[in-house]
Amino acid sequence: MLNKFTQANYHQICDNLASADADLNSIIRAHGYPPLWSRPNTFETLVHIILEQQVSLASALSALNKLKERVQELTPARVLLLTDEEFRACYCSRQKTAYIKYLAEALISQHVNLHDFEQMADDEIRVELVKLKGIGNWTVDVYLMFVLQRADLFPIGDLAAVNALKRVKNLPKDTTKEELITVAARWQPYRTVATMLLWHYYLSAPKRK
């Protein structure tokens, strides 16, 4: 049985987490429930996540919109018709251009089938996706959380989630990844929803000077 969250159970899971963790409860009291962030299971979505690697969300969206403007519909076949110069004009770095092309080729050759992932376990999906150039654990985490709505992931490579966790739990800046993973483990089997609460806090709370 795949552990997922849905629109129907999302607020209940938030409430369960809040009843077990006073810090998460304070986020809901101050800022309300987090949005249920989700994206369709498409090539365009994975391109978007690749573009979001190590840049601002606004920069990534700007590049995505430029690509869509150029090809109308963002499909593997259409993307492979673009030249490197056209990618550059769409704000895609040389590295990300290579990653997007590699993904497009993997989908066209059917080495990867996104719809197969809907019935696969998280670890099996991770094994398949990290084989692709430019896709690491952060990209897989975001895909599993936003697209497949898998309920029990904490993206340790996500700076916003990590910084929010440190602020919410009043942890020192030099808290190790291992220590953070241990803190997040208390939210099993709903670490994804806890992370959405952390992101909600990060986006809503005033930033410290």
Q: Are residues 51 and 123 in the same domain?
A: yes
pLDDT at 208: 54
Q: What is the pTM of this model?
A: 0.94
| pLDDT at residue 137 tops 50 | yes
Question: How many CB atoms within 10 Å of residue 164?
Answer: 21
What lies within 8 Å, CB to CB, of 160 at 6+ separation is 198, 199, 202
pLDDT at 1: 76
Distance CA 131, CA 141 (A): 15
Distance CA 110, CA 205 (A): 44
Domain ranges, residue 64:
43-147
pLDDT at 187: 98
Residue 3, in any domain of the structure: no
The residue from 147, 165, 185 where one domain ends is 147
Distance CA 209, CA 201 (A): 16
Q: Give the mean model confidence (pLDDT) for residues 60-76.
A: 96
Average pLDDT for the chain: 95
Q: Are residues 74 and 111 in the same domain?
A: yes
Residue 32 banded pLDDT, cuts 50, 70, 90? very high
CA distances from 153 to 42, 58, 99 (A): 21, 24, 24
Residue 209 banded pLDDT, cuts 50, 70, 90? very low
Q: Are residues 182 and 129 in the same domain?
A: no
3-state secondary structure of 65: helix
pLDDT at 201: 97
Q: Are residues 137 and 79 in the same domain?
A: yes
Q: Using the 8-state DSSP alphabet, how is residue 49 labeled?
A: H
| pLDDT at residue 18 tops 60 | yes
Per-residue burial over 111-139, b if 16 or more Cβ lie within 10 Å, else e, is: ebebeebeeeebeebbebbeebebbeebb
CATH code of the domain covering residue 198: 1.10.1670.40
Q: Give the mean model confidence (pLDDT) for residues 5-21.
A: 97
Structure-token pair, residue 97: 């251009």
Q: Are residues 139 and 157 in the same domain?
A: no
- How many structural domains is the chain composed of? 2
Q: Are residues 14 and 107 in the same domain?
A: no
DSSP calls for 127-186: HHHTTSTT--HHHHHHIIIIIS-BS----TT-HHHHHHHHHHTT--TT--HHHHHHHHHT
Quick check: 33 and 18 in contact, CB under 8 A?
A: no
| pLDDT at residue 207 tops 70 | no
